[in-house]
Amino acid sequence: MAIGAAMPLPLTSPTCRSLTSFTHHPSFSPILKLNSLRETASLGNPHLRLAVVAVSSMSIKAAEKASRASFLDRREARILHFVKYHGLGNDFILVDNRDSSEPKITAEQAAKLCDRNFGIDADGVIFALPGINGTDYTMRIFNSDGSEPEMCGNGVRCFGRFITELENLHGKQRFTVHTGAGLIVPEIVDDGKVRVDMGEPVFKASDVPTRLPANKDESVVKSGLDVDGVTWNVTCVSMGNPHCVTFGTEGDQNLQVDELDLAEIGPKFEHHEVFPARTNTEFVQVFTPSHLKMRVWERGAGATLACGTGACAVVVAAVLEGRAARTCTVDLPGGPLQIEWREEDNHIYMTGPAEVVFYGSVPL
């Protein structure tokens, strides 16, 4: 588990778990000693209980004086320092990996750290590595199951905010980031949100990839997909990672997304034989041409509160099916994202928040 002193941190998102009411600072040695004292005090020594209270108070005051910069600069062996962020409740462990081109931990270690009960608790671990091919930075991510996706929209917004903290930058900032999905450009805008140029969507069936036969040029648009004897109409899009978007079944296009049992239906889409690289799946409800609502089953992470690349894919699919305009608000369980698919450059721009949850250290 993460070790650190806790200080109150007001958060604006109502979707955060109770743990996110604190910021953890890595002054972990006093806390280790404090925990030991508490165990002894439980045996019934009232004087030691008083000592525990005094040490606890001193530890918290000491933690409050320590700076974030000193936290990020620490390099103890066998200790991993991290900052946890969330983008609309899609939560990530961010690791400063700028001194190496390989992640500091393995995929197996990442999966353990992400465990909701026995680890730090996250949807994935993101590493900030040196840039390659002329980019400022490289971003890699391990999902909570240890798999490595090409990209993550909410994750790259958190990545952008993480970089500004590591580099002690302020105001509007823009970075070029190399990812498994190619070049991604996050920009910190005036209101503190992050706008990301997500690049161009990919429609060609073999590039998504999907084995569903193309039915519009080389693309799969509103095509039938049998899942457990039920035919769903799906549109397949790649945002550097594969997405299967559905607005309902063949007989019912008025999908009520809140009524879905994602844990039951999601894995059947993810592991369907027509998706050789598995797929992310978005279930979408249309309110107006500029207002959509989605729930997502993410490849390698399951049901999450938000998926940035998924929101982008949803708007693209809605436009291709004639359901929506190119600029939309997409409601996710964790909150809204603003998505724009520009005609002039064919790029998709995603704008949304990225917020610090807490700072921590964990032994490896």
pLDDT at 69: 55
Omega before residue 8 within 30° of 0, cis: no
Tell me which residue range forms the domain holding 74.
Answer: 19-199+355-363
Q: Is residue 140 one of the residues assigned to a domain?
A: yes
| pLDDT at 9 (0 to 100) | 33
Predicted pLDDT at 4: 41
Residue 187 lies in a domain: yes
Residue type, 105: I
Token duo for residue 147: 């798999």
Answer yes or no: are the C-beta atoms of 319 and 73 closer than 8 Å.
no
DSSP string, 294-339: EEEEETTTEEES--HHHHHHHHHHHHHTTSS-SEEEEEETTEEEEE
Distance (Å, whole) CA 307 – CA 298: 8
Global confidence as pTM: 0.78
Say yes or no: 41 and 186 in one domain: yes
Domain check: are 141 and 243 in the same one?
A: no
Write down the pLDDT at residue 77: 66
Q: Could you list the beta-strand ranges (E) of the chain.
A: 5-8, 22-25, 79-87, 90-96, 124-130, 137-143, 173-174, 177-179, 182-188, 194-197, 223-227, 230-238, 242-249, 280-288, 291-298, 302-304, 327-332, 335-341, 348-352, 355-363
Long-range contacts of range 268-274, CB-CB < 8 Å, 24 or more positions apart? 268/227, 268/228, 269/227, 269/244, 269/297, 270/297, 270/299, 272/225, 272/227, 273/211, 274/210, 274/211, 274/212, 274/225
pLDDT at 55: 34
How much is the pLDDT for 99? 95
**Active-site residue, 307 included:** yes
Same domain, yes or no: 230 and 177: no
Who's near 160: CB < 8 A, 6+ residues apart? Answer: 173, 175, 177, 186, 187, 188, 194, 196, 354
Distance CA 222, CA 216 (A): 9
What distance in Å separates the CA atoms of residue 322 and residue 295, rounded to the nearest whole number?
Answer: 20
CA distance 299 to 151: 12
State the CATH number of the domain containing residue 37.
Answer: 3.10.310.10
Q: Which of 78, 98, 97, 94 is nearest to 86 (CA)?
A: 94
**Pair (179, 93) in one structural domain:** yes
Q: What integer pLDDT is reported at residue 7 of this predicted model? A: 33
Quick one: 150 and 104 in the same domain?
yes
Q: Compute the distance between CA of residue 201 and CA of residue 62 in angstroms, rounded to an integer.
A: 50
d(CA 169, CA 188): 10
User: Tokens in use for 67?
Assistant: 């700076």
Q: What is the pLDDT of residues 239-250, one digit of tens each?
A: 999 999 999 999
Q: Do 261 and 168 belong together in one domain?
A: no
Same domain, 97 and 244: no
Report strand pairing: 242-249 vs 280-288. Answer: parallel
2 in any annotated domain: no
Residue 13 lies in a domain: no
Per-residue pLDDT reduced to its tens digit, 309-331:
999 999 999 999 999 999 999 99
Q: What is the per-residue pLDDT for 73?
A: 60
- Position 34 scores a pLDDT of 28
The reported pLDDT for the residue numbered 205 is 97
Q: How many domains does the chain have?
A: 2
168 and 106 in a common domain: yes
Residue 137 has what pLDDT? 98
| 342-346 LR contacts (CB < 8 Å, sep 24+) | 346/200, 346/201
- Tokens, residue 257: 């997304």
- Fill in the amino acid letter for 204: K
| DSSP-derived secondary structure letter, 252 | B
H and E: helices and strands count for the chain: 7, 20
Q: Same domain for 138 and 256?
A: no
Q: Which of 152, 158, 236, 312 is catalytic?
A: 152
**List of the chain residues with pLDDT < 50:** 1-63
The answer to the question of residue 180 being in a domain is yes
169 and 268: one domain? no
pLDDT at res. 236: 98
In a domain, 212, yes or no: yes
Residue 28 domain-assigned? yes
Q: Is residue 12 part of a domain?
A: no
53-67: pLDDT as tens digits: 333 344 444 445 555
Query: Is 152 annotated as catalytic?
Result: yes
In angstroms, rounded to a whole number, what is the distance separating the alpha carbons of residues 322 and 292? 13
One domain for residues 171 and 187: yes
- In degrees and rounded to multiples of 5, residue 88 shows phi and psi of 60, 35
State whether 268 and 233 are in the same domain: yes
Token digits for 62? 């000491």
Q: Considering the candidates 236, 244, 307, 312, report the single residue annotated as catalytic.
A: 307
